[in-house]
Chain A
Amino acid sequence: MRSVLHFFLFTFQYFVFFYFIFVNSFYTLSLLMSFRFLFIRSRSIVDEEYEVMLQSEMYRPISIIVPCYNEEKVIVSNLKSLLTLHYPEFEIIVVNDGSTDNTMQVLIDNFSLRKVSRPYQEFIHTKNVKGVYISLDYPDLVVVDKENGGRFDAVNAGINISKYPIFCSIDSDSLLEEKSLLRISEVFLEDKEVVAAGGIVRVLNGCKVREGRVIEVHAPTKAVEVFQTIEYTRAFLMGRTTLGNLKALLLISGAFGIFRKDLAIKINGYRKTVGEDMDFTVRLHRYCIENKIPFKIIFIPDPVCWTQVPDSWRSLIRQRDRWRRGLIDVLLYNFRMSFNPRYKTAGMIGFPYFILIEFLGPIIEFIGYVLIPVLWIFGLLNTQFAIIFFFVAILWGIFITIGSILMDNLLFIRYESLKDVFKLILFAFFEFVFYKELLAFVAFFATFRFRARKWGHIPRKKMEKTV
Chain B
Amino acid sequence: MYPVFLTSHYFRSFIIFTLFLLLILDSVLFLYLVIDKILTERREKKKRYSREKFTEIIASKMFDDELLLEIPKDRFSYEVVGDLLLDTLRNLRGDFANKVQDLLRKNGYVEYFSKMLKSKRFYIRGKYAEKFGFTRLSEARQPLVELLKVEKHPYVIKKAVFALSFVFEIDHLDLMYEKISEVKDLGFKYVEQIFINVIRRIREFRNSEKGMRFLSLYAKLLDSLGRRALFEALGLEKVYEAVPIIAGYANSNDPLMRISVARALGRMGGEVSCNILKQYLKDMEDWRVRAVAANFAGICDISVVSILYSLLFDPEPTVAMNAAQTLLQFGRVGIEFLEKAKRNGIGLASEIAKYALEGANLA
Partner among B25, B33, B126, B158 whose Cβ is within 8 Å of the Cβ of A405? B33
Inter-subunit contact A48/B124 (CB<8 Å): no
* B2 at interface by CB-CB < 8 Å: yes
- Which of chain B's residues have a CB closer than 8 A to the CB of A194? 187
Chain A interfacial residues counted at CB < 8 A:
58
Select which of A51, A120, A388 is within 8 A of B90 by beta carbon: A51
Q: Which residues of B contact A380 (CB under 8 A)?
A: 1-2
Segment of A91-99, A184-192, A279-287 in the binding face: A184-192
Which of B16, B29, B155, B321 has the most chain A CB atoms closer than 10 A to its own CB?
A: B29
Decide: B358 and A116 in contact? CB cutoff 8 A: yes
- On whether A399 and B29 interact (CB within 8 A), knowing A58-B193, A119-B351, the answer reads yes
B349 nearest CB neighbor, chain A only? A119
Verify B134–A48 contact, CB threshold 8 A: yes
Binary CB contact string for chain B from 4 to 42 against chain A (1 if under 8 A, 0 otherwise): 011100001001101100110110011011101110110
Query: Is A385 within 8 A of B12, CB to CB?
Result: yes
A376 within 8 A of B: no
Interface centre among B6, B86, B317 (most CB of A within 10 A): B6
Q: Please indicate which of the listed interface residues B3, B86, B126, B351 has the most CB atoms of chain A within 10 Å of its own CB.
A: B3
B44 at the interface (CB under 8 A from A): yes
Q: How far is the CB of B198 from chain A (nearest CB, A)?
A: 13
**Are A388 and B15 touching (Cβ within 8 A)?**
yes
Determine the residue in chain A with the shortest Cβ distance to B86: A48
1/0 per residue A413-434: CB within 8 Å of B? 1011110010001000000000
Query: Which residues on A sit within 8 Å (CB–CB) of B317?
Result: 119-121
CB interface residues, B 315-330, toward A, < 8 Å = 316-318, 320-321
A57 contacts B236, C-beta separation under 8 Å: yes
List chain A residues, Cβ under 8 A from B126: 44
Query: Chain B residues near A399 (CB, 8 Å)?
Result: 22, 25-26, 29
CA distance A116 to B134 in the complex (A): 45
Known contacts A119-B317, A120-B317, A57 near B192 by CB under 8 Å: yes
A59 touches B355 (CB 8 A): no
Residues of chain A lying within 8 A (CB to CB) of residue B123: 40, 43-44
Those of A108-165 within 8 Å (CB) of chain B = 116-121
Q: Is B83 an interface residue (CB 8 A)?
A: yes
A167 to B337, CA, bound (A): 34
From residue 367 to 400 of chain A, which have CB atoms closer than 8 A to chain B? 379-380, 382, 385, 388-389, 391-392, 395-396, 398-399
Bound together, the chains give a CA A70 to CA B63 distance in angstroms of: 58
Write out the residue numbers on chain B whose beta carbons fall within 8 Å of the beta carbon of A417.
41
Q: A48-B86, A388-B16 given as contacts; is B189 within 8 A of A119 (CB)?
A: no
CB-CB under 8 A from B86, the residues of chain A are: 48
A190 and B190 within 8 A (CB)? yes
A396 to chain B, nearest CB (A): 6
Q: Is the Cβ of A58 less than 8 Å from the Cβ of B192?
A: yes
* Minimum C-beta distance from A88 to chain B (A): 11
A-B pair count, CB < 8 Å, reads 150
The answer to whether the Cβ of A352 comes within 8 Å of any Cβ in the partner chain is no
B109-153 CB contacts (< 8 Å) to partner A: 121, 123-124, 126-127, 130-131, 134
- Complex Cα gap A120–B29 (Å): 56
Q: Is the CB of B38 within 8 A of A13?
A: no
- Name the A residues within 8 Å of B23 (CB-CB): 395
B185 adjacent to chain A (CB < 8 Å): yes
Kindly report which residue of chain B lies nearest to residue A395, judged by CB atoms: B22
Complex CA–CA separation, A45 to B126 (angstroms): 10
User: Which residues of chain B are near A46, meaning CB under 8 Å?
Assistant: 127, 130-131, 134
Residues on the A chain within 8 Å of B33, using CB? 402, 405-406, 409, 421, 425
Known pairs A380-B1, A388-B16; A191 contacts B37 (CB<8 A): no
Instruction: List the B side residues contacting A360 at CB < 8 Å.
Output: none
Question: In the complex, what's the smallest C-beta–C-beta distance from B157 to chain A, in angstroms?
Answer: 12
Q: In the complex, A421 Cα to B30 Cα: how many Å?
A: 10
The reply to whether A189 and B190 contact each other, CB–CB distance below 8 Å, is yes
B180 contacts the other chain (CB 8 A): no
Q: Report B56 CB to chain A, min CB distance, Å.
A: 21
Question: In the docked arrangement, what's the CA distance between A395 and B86, Å?
Answer: 46
Residues of A within 8 A of B188 (CB): 189, 192
**Docked complex Cα distance between A392 and B23 (Å):** 9
Interface residues of A (CB under 8 A from B): 10, 13-14, 17, 40, 43-49, 51-52, 55-60, 116-121, 188-194, 379-380, 382, 385, 388-389, 391-392, 395-396, 398-399, 402-403, 405-406, 409-410, 413, 415-418, 421, 425
Q: Identify the 10 closest CB pairs spanning chains A and B, nearest first.
A: A395-B22, A58-B193, A44-B123, A189-B189, A189-B187, A402-B29, A190-B187, A406-B33, A121-B317, A189-B190
Q: A43-B127, A190-B186 known; 7 other A-B pairs, CB under 8 Å?
A: A13-B6, A46-B130, A48-B131, A192-B188, A392-B18, A399-B22, A402-B33
Residues of B within 8 A of A (CB): 1-3, 5-7, 12, 15-16, 18-19, 22-23, 25-26, 29-30, 32-34, 36-38, 40-41, 44, 83, 86-87, 90, 121, 123-124, 126-127, 130-131, 134, 155, 158, 185-190, 192-193, 196, 225, 236, 316-318, 320-321, 348, 351-352, 354-355, 358-359
